[in-house]
Amino acid sequence: MKKELRTSEGAAPIGAYSQGLVVGEFVYTSGMGPLDPHTGEIVGDDVATQTHQVMRNLGAILAAHGLGFDDVVKSTVHLQHLKRDFAAYNEVYKSYFNPPFPVRTTVGSELLDILVEIDFVAYKRA
């Protein structure tokens, strides 16, 4: 059984997808971009600023189910310019977590007008 997660503090879906789903003890988020949840506009024109906004959006979705970044077990990251932006994105990304860090896949992707998109899998402890 799956339950939809939705919060006005995270970027609203712009297509046929949910912000997040709870399935058993796991929470899955959609890939989030750097959209301001109140205006729908892209925040920032550099990867560090955009990564902060993505993490705020993801944090809001996690919080809607009583979770935080320490509950994240897996992330998938898409960077428009992998080689150019990896170091700056990684500095911002790691500032949101405590060791042990989640497992992660980071790939270069053709993204539509954004520099970074991230999704999470989190575990809800009993």
| Residues 91, 93: Cα–Cα separation, whole Å | 6
The CATH number assigned to the domain holding 29 equals 3.30.1330.40
Instruction: Give the tens place of pLDDT for each residue, 82-105.
Output: 999 999 999 999 999 999 999 999
Task: Label the pairing between strands 72-79 and 103-108.
Answer: parallel
Domain carrying residue 54: 2-123
Residue 35: beta bridge partners?
42
Domains contained in the chain, number = 1
Across 1-126, where does the E strand assignment appear? 2-5, 20-23, 26-29, 72-79, 103-108, 116-123
Instruction: Give the tens place of pLDDT for each residue, 5-56.
Output: 888 888 888 888 889 999 999 999 999 999 999 999 999 999 999 999 999 9
- pLDDT score of 89: 98
Name the residue among 91, 6, 82 with its Cα closest to residue 55.
Answer: 91
Name the residue among 86, 44, 104 with its Cα closest to residue 57.
Answer: 44
Instruction: Give residue 126's pLDDT band: very low, low, confident or very high (50, 70, 90).
Output: low
Name the residue among 102, 99, 100 with its Cα closest to residue 62.
Answer: 102
Pair of tokens at residue 72 = 């994240």
